[in-house]
Amino acid sequence: MFLKFCDSIYHPFPLLVILVDFEIFSVKVNYIPYISRGGICYMKLKSIFSTVLLAFTVFFITSFNASASENDIPENMEHTANPNIFYDTDNQKYFDKRENGYIDEVYRVEGGKVVESISPEEFIQIEETEKNEFTQDSSDIVSPMAVTWSHIYKESSNYETRIFGGRASLIQENPGPGSDTQTLAYQYTETYSTSTSLTNLQLQAIEYGVSYSFSKSRSISSSHAMTIEPGYSGYWRFDPKVRKSIGTLRNLLHGQFMSETSVTTMYPTHLNGQLDGWLVAVKTKL
């Protein structure tokens, strides 16, 4: 009798759990029949147990790692509305795990100036968006063949949001013994970004099609006082305010519709040419 023996782990579970005994060279071997792409195959019972054991082991390890990751958070840290910021109940401060530092001073910046101080609690409630992956190089040369293409951008939504920025000043240390107030200069530049790679012509269509004035790049350069407790270092982080435009590009060749491209574009907001955003004091233990 001709048998197909398929030990592949890609078919680990039989359609019917029926043990079939075959006597091969006077030795009884247990097999389980199941349906595969090649028809009915027979898998050794030992192979079934090995496959199930392997699947269980992978599931257990994955579950354990997920649980361990959750348990990495110290008991004194409480979750907040922002998944990257925790409340330290021992120090009664907010801790940003991305920078391994505390945030206790936050200021809203418009037109190159600090306009108001806001609490960390209010800051955490402000929506935070991850920056897009692509930024077009403004020095790209448009190919002569590109003139045969045209693009129309249809925007479905456009709203303000905050992007997690980066360090904008030098790091100031305060070994003690008392608190120290220092005026730290800061500067930061934010450029536009898109969710997919675009040609210059496509980008121009977005510039013309957005409902709020488009800026490719904006900067800020100023200074502000920061109070640093003894045993800590501190620096300014700048989180830029951007507009997030979501829409669709219609791509036409010689005026004929060819395709559509969904795209999300984020570009900096400004007042009097100065980048808007939030100035965040980040303080780390020495």
Average pLDDT over residues 117-125: 94
Band the pLDDT of 141: cuts 50, 70, 90.
very low
Strand partners, 239: 278
Strand partners, 252: 150, 257
Calculated CA dihedral for residues 229, 235, 239, 240, nearest 10 degrees: 130
Q: How many residues does the chain have?
A: 286
Rounded CA separation 146/261 (Å): 17
Better-scored residue on pLDDT, 250 or 72: 250
Cβ contact 49:11 at 8 Å: no
pTM reported for the whole predicted model: 0.70
pLDDT tens digits along 167-223: 999 999 999 899 999 999 999 999 999 998 888 899 999 999 999 999 999 999 999
pLDDT tens digits along 8-37: 434 444 444 444 444 444 444 455 555 545
Band the pLDDT of 39: cuts 50, 70, 90.
low
pLDDT tens digits along 210-248: 999 999 999 999 999 999 999 999 999 999 999 999 999
Average pLDDT over residues 120-149: 71
pLDDT at 42 over 70: no
Query: Cα-atom radius of gyration of the chain, to the nearest Å?
Result: 30
Positions of E strands within 164-255 = 166-167, 172-174, 180-191, 193-194, 217-228, 232-253
pLDDT for residue 38 = 52
pLDDT at 44 over 60: no
Residues of 85-114 as b/e, b for ≥16 C-beta within 10 angstroms? bbbeeeeeebbbeebebbbbbbbbbbebee
pLDDT for residue 40 = 53
Rounded CA separation 273/275 (Å): 7
pLDDT at 266 over 90: yes
